[in-house]
Amino acid sequence: MRRINLALQGGGAHGAFTWGVLDRLLEDETLEIAGISGTSAGALNGAALKAGLLAGGRGAARKRLDRLWDQVGAIGDFRMLPWMQAFLPMLRFWQTASAALLPISPQAIAAQLYSPYVFGNSWQNPLEPVVRDLDFRHVCAAEGPRLFVSATNVRTGRIKVFEGQDIGPEALLASACLPTVFQTVEIGGEAYWDGGYSGNPALFPLYEPDLPDDILVVSINPMRTEDIPGTPLEIQNRINEISFNASLLGELRAISFVRRLIAEGRMERGSMKAVNVHMISDDRLMNELSAESKLAPTPYLLERLKAAGRAAAEQFLQDGGTKIGQEGSVDLRSLLRQTTGSFGNG
């Protein structure tokens, strides 16, 4: 049995890619998932995965993930509240009349006018019914994979990692709280936003001695994009991608540095964990998809992402998966050079 930790990124509806990855990994009975660190959509995936595993094993976990994304697909646009529907005919007319100057969908236009605080206490989080449908007896259980959920403290900007009994519905909603879309989530007198701002996902909780050395990162925020964003939504999306990847790159840089010190004999083996990093991603697909699609899940989009995730996981199992327990399948030096320049040579 090959033991592995999962590090699941957030990225709105694009988290359905991770659904596909997990669906394929669960078919491989030689893999044991020991730890899960998730942020935003990654946290929802991780919670559904653990709840399903404890409820009935691998098959039940796959069904639980299917249910999660069926529910997400039924929401529609995360930003579209009933009152906004009334504006769509006017916005469509506006878009048609000025198509050459304004190549933006009506929903994207409406999103620029939207603030989740307009409704005060009457606002309802569209993800809440989805989250509360999870069985938290299993999500919070001491048995099964260790689950870590990250959110960002609004006042301090620091990461908050929830584990065990602290992972209630509010922790998952906090982890997925993109502040331009959802109202701040309060837990224990503290205010929280999306965990992606401080850890997407956080790797350090997976360094615990009882967890394996191998961490598989499921990445859904592209490290590089060729097109320069032009619309307000595209610009905000790329800002989020850059900031959400920054914490991950920082942790990967630290892992690379520690591994180099151990390899050069400047650090005693066993004094720090020599993490083996693996990664599953599809940057080509993620760059093809619009920024708007992260906030507007449709059944077609979700199924397309699931299929892509399964295909990427299949490729990983054939290639990098053979290195689990032996060495990392990601060339960290090359990755860090590509994304951070000469300072990534650790």
Q: What is the pLDDT of residue 112?
A: 56
How does pLDDT run along the chain (346 residues), one tens digit per residue? 899 999 999 999 999 999 999 999 999 999 999 999 999 999 999 999 999 999 999 999 999 999 999 999 999 877 655 444 444 454 445 445 554 444 555 545 555 556 778 778 878 899 999 999 999 999 999 999 999 999 999 999 999 999 999 999 999 999 999 998 899 999 999 999 999 999 999 999 999 999 999 999 999 988 888 888 888 778 888 888 888 888 899 999 999 998 888 888 888 877 788 899 999 999 999 999 888 888 889 999 999 999 999 999 999 999 999 999 999 999 998 888 865 543 333 3
CB 9 within 8 A of CB 218: yes
Report cis status (omega within 30 of 0) of the bond before 201: yes
185, two tokens: 């989530």
Other CB atoms within 10 A of residue 229 CB: 15
* Inter-CA distances, 279 with 13, 124, 328, 335, Å: 20, 35, 9, 11
Helix (H) or strand (E) holding 237: helix 232-263
Q: What is the pLDDT of residue 190?
A: 97
Whole-angstrom Cα distance, residue 292 to residue 94?
A: 19
Q: If you count DSSP H runs as helices and E runs as strands, how many of each does the chain have, helices first?
A: 12, 8
CB 193 within 8 A of CB 180: no
Q: DSSP letter at 229? A: P
Q: Which residues of 193-215 are buried (b: 16+ CB within 10 A; e: fewer)?
A: bbbbbbbbbbbebbbeeebbbbb
Whole-angstrom Cα distance, residue 12 to residue 72?
A: 10
Q: What is the pLDDT of residue 86?
A: 45
Q: What is the pLDDT of residue 346?
A: 38
Residue the block writes with tokens 């006018």 = 113
